[in-house]
């Protein structure tokens, strides 16, 4: 397997038609200067109130990148702002320490076009110069929701924001990442809204994203997620297994979201849920409702 590093110049593949890459960042100037040139599509950088000179440095070094500076840190909603600015059919998200493999933006867009009900494609993630498979990808590949004939891979109810391509109109129609859940948990909340609107999410192993965790904010241990953890959030965890009465979502392990589900109660409902008293203690797909049982 060929090893890549942020300092290596990217291979020149044909630009991915109909795709914009949206990157959100805060105070990661050096990471951005290394990773932004790798993207094979127009890039929109949404800066979450950096104080390290990110905006000025990127504008000077990479004038082709559209920079949207925010006065304050908007959290995950920065991705929604970037998607709103993009004028393309698809939006690929990346972090300041991740990038899509050469040719794979175009490949992911082709998969999306071939599957018109697919709102989110979750690529596989290779971590670090040694290209370790992100442990979560093994769980996504064995999602208990299976692989319906109309999807290109296992169905999910959750995804990794730094490794996702979205259908822009579907993403914006349900509100994208809203201000309620900044992170973690923003992907799962959005997933519920997309599912409620009849859209699908799938894991596609044939498309790759590289992630070289930044030393500025990441735990260097293998499998460690970004600051704040990646476990189930009290507001939205995207779990899909029956809950265990009395368990709190805070007890869910860091990988107990998306494909694998969890044992906690979720507390946000997708728009179509009319169960005012909450669900009977089970999560998607039993009732489409992720609110905890009455009284919780």
Q: Which tens digits make up the pLDDT trace of 223-275?
A: 444 333 333 322 223 333 323 333 333 223 333 333 333 333 333 444 434 33
| Residue 174 belongs to a domain | yes
Question: How far is it, in rounded angstroms, from Cα 224 to Cα 135?
Answer: 10
- Position with higher pLDDT, 224 vs 168: 168
Asked if 26 and 142 sit in the same domain, the reply is yes
Domain check: are 61 and 96 in the same one?
yes
Task: Say yes or no: 75 and 167 in one domain.
Answer: yes
| Domain end call among 156, 181, 211 | 211
In three-state secondary structure terms, 8 is coil
* Shared-domain flag, residues 198 and 66: yes
Q: Supply the mean pLDDT for the chain.
A: 75
- Indicate the pairing of strand 132-133 with strand 118-127: antiparallel
Same domain, 175 and 253: no
Of 174 and 254, which is predicted with more confidence?
A: 174
Least confident of 14-28, 113-127, 192-206, 274-288: 274-288
Q: Do 53 and 84 share a domain, yes or no?
A: yes
Per-residue pLDDT band for 121 (boundaries 50, 70, 90) equals very high
* Co-location of 207 and 281 in the same domain: no
Q: Give the model's confidence band at 201: pLDDT under 50 very low, under 70 low, under 90 confident, else very high.
A: very high
DSSP state of 131: T
224: in domain? no
How far apart CA 186 and CA 207 sit, in angstroms, is 22
**pLDDT range class, residue 214, cuts 50, 70, 90:** confident
Query: Same structural domain for residues 179 and 115?
Result: yes
Host domain of residue 245: 231-296
58 and 194, same domain (yes or no): yes
User: Which among 42, 87, 205, 68 has a CA at the least distance from the CA of 136?
Assistant: 205
Q: How many domains does the chain have?
A: 2
Q: Is residue 296 part of a domain?
A: yes
Do 203 and 83 fall into the same domain? Answer: yes
For 95-108, the pLDDT digits (tens) are 999 999 999 999 99
pLDDT of the residue at 181: 54
- Is residue 1 domain-resident? no
Q: How confident is the model at residue 157 (pLDDT cuts 50, 70, 90)?
A: very high
Strands 164-167 and 19-25: unpaired
* 118 and 197 assigned to the same domain: yes
In the numeric block, which tokens belong to residue 54? 């990110």
CA atoms within 13 A on the CB side of 109: 22
């Amino acid at each position: 397997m060929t090893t890549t590093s942020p300092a290596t110049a990217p291979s020149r593949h044909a630009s991915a038609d109909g795709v914009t890459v949206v990157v959100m960042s805060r105070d990661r100037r050096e990471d951005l200067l290394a990773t932004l040139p790798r993207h094979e599509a127009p890039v929109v950088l949404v800066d979450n109130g950096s104080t390290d000179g990110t905006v000025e440095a990127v504008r000077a070094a990479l004038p082709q990148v559209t920079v949207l500076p925010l006065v304050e840190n908007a959290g995950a909603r920065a991705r929604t702002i970037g998607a709103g600015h993009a004028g393309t059919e698809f939006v690929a998200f990346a972090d300041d320490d991740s990038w899509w493999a050469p040719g794979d933006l175009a490949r992911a867009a082709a998969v999306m076009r071939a599957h018109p009900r697919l709102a989110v494609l979750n690529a596989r993630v290779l971590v670090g110069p040694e290209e370790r498979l992100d442990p979560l990808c093994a769980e996504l590949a064995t999602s208990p929701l299976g692989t319906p004939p109309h999807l290109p891979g296992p169905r999910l109810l959750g995804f990794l924001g730094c490794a996702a391509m979205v259908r822009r109109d579907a993403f914006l129609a349900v509100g994208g990442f809203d201000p309620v859940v900044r992170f973690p948990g923003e992907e799962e909340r959005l997933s519920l809204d997309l599912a409620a609107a009849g859209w699908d999410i799938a894991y596609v192993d044939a498309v790759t994203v590289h992630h070289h965790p930044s030393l500025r904010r990441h735990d260097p241990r293998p499998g460690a997620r970004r600051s704040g953890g990646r476990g189930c959030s009290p507001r939205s965890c995207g779990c899909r297994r029956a809950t265990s009465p009395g368990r709190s979502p805070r007890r869910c392990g860091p990988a107990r979201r998306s494909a694998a589900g969890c044992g906690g109660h979720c507390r946000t409902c997708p728009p179509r849920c009319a169960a005012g008293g909450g669900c009977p203690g089970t999560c998607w797909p039993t009732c489409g409702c992720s609110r905890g049982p009455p009284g919780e």
